[in-house]
Amino acid sequence: MLSSGRRSSAEVIVESPPGRYPNFGTISFTGSTVNGSSLSAVHPVALDPSNGVYEAHTGALSGGNFSIAYQHE
């Protein structure tokens, strides 16, 4: 069932067990879609992982393509 409600969401997630992220370099996501449309069509908000200090940074979104880059432990 597809929802058109205002509280709908879609997520692209990079997770780490509790604690800090290991050095994963850069991870690229390509062709990300929401209900058949490019991810950028829904104006998503990036939530960079933080444990008091940013551990990674999400790059700019272009269509359905973006990357997340490790910063430090």
Instruction: State pLDDT tens for residues 9-57.
Output: 667 777 777 667 788 899 999 998 888 888 888 888 888 777 677 788 8
> Distance between terminal CA atoms of the chain?
40
Instruction: Work out the average pLDDT over 46-72.
Output: 84
pLDDT of 6 strictly over 70: no
Confidence at residue 2, expressed as pLDDT on a 0 to 100 scale: 46
Residue 26 DSSP class: E
CB-count exposure of residue 11 (10 Å: 0-12, 13-18, 19+): exposed
pLDDT of 65 strictly over 50: yes
Which tokens hold the place of 29? 């996501």
What single-letter amino acid sits at 22?
P
Going by their DSSP bridges, the two strands 37-38 and 56-58 should be labelled as unpaired
Residue 1's alpha-carbon distances to 8, 35, 58, 59, in angstroms, are: 12, 11, 30, 31
pLDDT of 4 strictly over 60: no
